Amino acid sequence: MKSSAAYKLARSAYAGYGVDTEAAIRHALRVPVSLHCWQADDVRGLETPKDGVAGGGIMSTGGYPGRARNGDEMRADLDLVLKLLPGKQRLNLHAFYAETGAKAVDRDDLRPEHFARWLGWAKSRRIGLDFNPTYFAHEKANSGFTLSSADPGIRRFWINHGKACRHIAQHFAKELGKPVVHNHWVPDGAKDAPADRWAPRERLKESYDAIFADKTVNRKLCVDAVEGKLFGLGSEDYVVGSQEFYSSYAQSRDLVLCLDLGHYHPTESVADKVSALMQFHKRLLLHTSRPVRWDSDHVVILDDAVRNLFLEIARGDAWDRVFVALDFFDASINRIAAYVIGARATRQAILCGLLDPTAKIQAAETAGRGHERLALMEQARALPWGAVWDELCERDGVPPAAKWLADVARYEKTVLSKRG
């Protein structure tokens, strides 16, 4: 394929700073990004709706037409998304997207066969799967406590759910020949100041220990991760599974720690945490999201938080120590477009990290030329990465720039508009 004039100029510009754009394109295309299935249906799941079930800290707002109403519609939507995204993709699946037919199956009794259609779809598209237990949107989560509940019966139910999900993840890995990242997040917490912050955290630790005690699950196939949070709906004052809890738990149990961009104070830098945590943690799971005033899971854009996160990964050459996944949901705009915008922004941030003239910048810093370091860091942001991105898209056979909007418009007219 013949490169554009814009790319040739960009390649020359980057070469002047010691950056090989060809190598950056190849590397950026290889990094897997795990698409989250729950954007397609507004985090509703495929279970039969039950009266009196709370959301468990999860809420997608807006009423844009065209929400996927079943697994087939979700997979059709994802097929279009995959056609519009460059690079290597995976699909991140939550447990309450089980397809059990006419039979009601509770979450502690889920089996691999309940995800057979998802597995078949992934095989046919030649993509990997990741998996998540669903510890929310269930009557046994209405109290706001699951694995840390004071009720032994409630805890037992969710422990069994976690165990069942690990076996499902292992089954996916065996069938697809690729490890599955299996991420645990619970909504446990209190709306107002609790009198006892100790006991729920002790129970949460014991519940996770019971889940991970199952030695029939190969941890090289089922790669368990745990995810903390600052606060959420219904847990504004106290979150049992805080950052400190999960960082310590993951390190002590040799698990993967998940960092979600929306789960921290607005002024915290998640990028800055990476080099600190990776002195002690072998691997991290990175969730790209976008908080607006709080953990509101807005569609990812190429903002400073996302860009700086992957710049830090690039500067530490830690690509083989991170897993990358999306986590946002917006029902106020076209959901296909939301997928494409968020996934492309994430891979654009990966590319920008790989295009950074790190060697030149660090050489200036090592030599004590702070003014030069700062000037080069600023200049790096102005280099023509957009032309490199368009070249990356063209080479991978997907629409460059915003040309994908035409495909989304056609799909909305012919498919989404016909959904009730």
Catalytic (active-site) positions: 185, 227, 229, 260, 263, 287, 295, 297, 327
Write out the two tokens for 316: 């530490």
Decide if 87 contacts 172 (C-beta within 8 A). no
Which parts of 10-127 are beta strand (E)? Answer: 33-36, 89-94
Distance separating alpha carbons of residues 181 and 257, to the nearest angstrom: 11
Distance separating alpha carbons of residues 85 and 336, to the nearest angstrom: 11
Residues 6+ apart with CB under 8 A from 174: 221
Residue 41 phi/psi, 5-degree rounding, is: -130, 15
CA proximity to 58, closest of 142, 148, 137: 137
Distance separating alpha carbons of residues 301 and 316, to the nearest angstrom: 23
């799971």: which residue's tokens?
A: 285
CA proximity to 392, closest of 17, 31, 13, 18: 31
Decide if 135 contacts 156 (C-beta within 8 A). no
Decide if 295 contacts 230 (C-beta within 8 A). yes
Distances (CA, A) of 156 to 124, 152, 163: 36, 6, 10
Distance separating alpha carbons of residues 51 and 70, to the nearest angstrom: 19
Which amino acid belongs to residue 230?
L
The alpha carbon of 263 is separated from its chain's Cα centroid by a whole number of angstroms, namely 12
Residues 6+ apart with CB under 8 A from 375: none
Residues 6+ apart with CB under 8 A from 37: 74, 78, 91, 92, 93, 94, 97
Residues 6+ apart with CB under 8 A from 301: 290, 341, 342, 345
